[in-house]
């Protein structure tokens, strides 16, 4: 049998050389841009009230404006961002009303995820949670410029190692949406922790791990609620101090 001839047509050769690959479509690029912005909002990279300038984002991500515009529209629909009358998009401002609403919702949804996870966590899972808590404790003690990002990422990994064990395809996306909306509050809390050495939320993590290890659902939910509300209470106190200062200035004026 004669040997099969190798195609000599350059276009055919080019096609054959990448036969195992497919083109990355615009939708895939949009998804990657969305996921990167979503991750940044999760970890409080953007400040409350910060305007999301599409050209700056496109330049930073090295993409065109279209996938950025589409990603921002998705994030607006998820209430992680808001549209201003000028049609620009910004990170929502921190308000007492929104703070209270988010804290209440997170305690309800995440508390139920913790309760559901208790019976499913293995000894290896508990060891992993202890390890993450130790890493977070070390990150809080290390007053580096990227402390806020490190602690935020470790905090996220800790919580979602628990929530994933709940095996709830309904509640987990709800919790993720609430975390996405909590981005400005994550940043605000990180700022407070950063200027107050020794103040951390790690002790609540330890209490939560111990309760999970003992399979004590009630104690685990209580520790989770205390963990969530500590950061929100710190921000609430800051808002009250700022309001008092503004009232004082107005009175003096």
pLDDT digits (tens, 9 = 90+) for 67-101: 999 999 999 999 999 999 998 999 999 999 999 99
CB 118 within 8 A of CB 220: yes
pLDDT of residue 251: 64
Structure confidence at residue 22 (pLDDT): 52
- CATH node for 26-90: 1.10.10.10
SS percent in the chain: helix, strand, coil, step 5: 70, 0, 30
Domain ranges within the chain, ordered by starting residue: 26-90, 96-252
Of 188, 212, 105, 193, the closest CA to residue 141 belongs to 193
Phi-psi category of residue 79: left, alpha or beta, with phi > 0 → left and psi -120 to 50 → alpha: left
Contact indicator for 148, 192 with CB cutoff of 8 Å: no
Cα 85 to Cα 192: distance, rounded to the nearest angstrom: 31
How does residue 143 score in pLDDT terms, banded at 50, 70 and 90? low
Please provide the CATH number assigned to the domain covering 96-252. 1.20.120.530
Contact 184, 82 (CB under 8 A): no
pLDDT at 149: 78
150-195 pLDDT, tens digit each: 888 899 999 999 999 999 999 999 999 999 999 888 888 877 877 7
203-222: per-residue pLDDT in tens?
Answer: 999 999 999 999 999 999 99
Q: What percent of the chain has pLDDT over 90?
A: 62
Q: Assign 89 to helix, strand or coil.
A: strand
Distance CA 155, CA 43 (A): 10
Q: For residue 71, what pLDDT is reported?
A: 95
87: helix, coil or strand?
Answer: coil
Asked if pLDDT for residue 16 goes beyond 50, the answer is no
**pLDDT: is 26 or 199 the higher one?**
199
Can you say whether the dihedral through the CA atoms of 63, 68, 74, 78 is positive or negative? positive
Task: Name the strand (E) or helix (H) holding 83.
Answer: strand 82-83
Is 15's pLDDT higher than 50? no
């Amino acid at each position: 049998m004669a040997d099969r001839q190798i195609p000599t047509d350059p276009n055919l050769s080019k096609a054959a050389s990448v036969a195992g690959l497919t083109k990355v479509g615009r939708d895939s690029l949009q998804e990657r841009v969305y996921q990167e912005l979503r991750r940044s909002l999760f970890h409080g990279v953007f400040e409350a009230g910060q305007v999301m300038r599409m050209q700056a984002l496109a330049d930073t991500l090295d993409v065109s404006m279209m996938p950025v515009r589409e990603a921002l529209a998705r994030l607006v629909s998820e209430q992680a961002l808001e549209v201003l009358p000028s049609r620009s998009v910004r990170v929502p401002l921190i308000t007492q009303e929104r703070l209270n609403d988010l804290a209440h919702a997170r305690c309800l949804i995440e508390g139920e995820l913790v309760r559901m996870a208790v019976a499913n966590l293995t000894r290896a899972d508990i060891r992993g949670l202890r390890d993450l808590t130790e890493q977070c404790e070390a990150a809080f003690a290390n007053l580096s410029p990227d402390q806020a990002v490190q602690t935020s990422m470790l905090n996220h990994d800790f919580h979602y190692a628990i929530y994933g064990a709940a095996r709830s395809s309904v509640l987990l996306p709800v919790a993720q949406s609430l975390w996405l909306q909590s981005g400005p509050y994550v940043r605000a809390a990180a700022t407070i922790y950063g200027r107050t050495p020794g103040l951390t939320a790690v002790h609540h993590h330890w209490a939560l791990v111990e309760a999970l290890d003992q399979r004590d659902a009630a104690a685990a939910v209580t520790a989770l609620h205390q963990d969530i509300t500590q950061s929100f209470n710190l921000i609430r106190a800051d808002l009250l101090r700022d309001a008092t200062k503004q009232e004082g200035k107005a009175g003096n004026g």
